[in-house]
Amino acid sequence: MNDMELDALLNAPLPERDAGDFSVLLMERVTQHEARPARILSWISAGVMVAVFAAACLFGASAIGHVDPHMNDMLIPGTLILLSLLLSYVVSEAARA
């Protein structure tokens, strides 16, 4: 094979591919990607809301003297707050990945 024959082969355009299914799938993925921040924000908001609610319950209970900071009463609301904050953190880390 000489240079001219090789050039002719190499210069031939690549086969044309139909955009159909490929474009549809791509646009679905782009749309999902665009919806991601809103989805993540809603998860974070839910986490923060639970944390605030648990903190409010704790504050209310302690204000009327039903919670002794040294007793096990602190355990459930405290765990709830921690779990909520942990959930928010995990979701925000996932968003960054």
Partner 1 sequence: MDDGTLVERAVATRDVAAFSALARLHQSKVRGLLLRLTRGDHAAADDLAQETFLEAWRGIGNFRGESAFATWLYRIAYSRFLMQARKRKPDEQLGDWDVPMASGESGSHARIDLERAMAKLTAAESAALTLSFALGLSNSEAAEAMDIPLGTLKSHVLRGREKLKAILGEPS
90 neighbors 47 (Cβ within 8 angstroms): no
Q: Residue 29 or residue 89: which is nearer to partner 1 going by CB?
A: 29
Q: How many other β-carbons are positioned within 10 Å of the β-carbon of residue 70?
A: 7
**How far apart (Å, rounded) are the C-alpha atoms in residues 62 and 69?**
8
> Does 9 contact partner 1 by CB under 8 A?
yes
- The least CB distance from residue 4 to partner 1, in Å, is 11
* DSSP 8-state code for residue 71: S
Site for partner 1 in 27-86 (CB under 8 A): 27, 29-31, 33-34
Q: Residue 38 or residue 71: which is nearer to partner 1 going by CB?
A: 38
**How far apart (Å, rounded) are the C-alpha atoms in residues 34 and 43?**
16
Binding site for partner 1 (CB under 8 A): 1, 3, 6-7, 9-17, 19, 22-23, 25-27, 29-31, 33-34
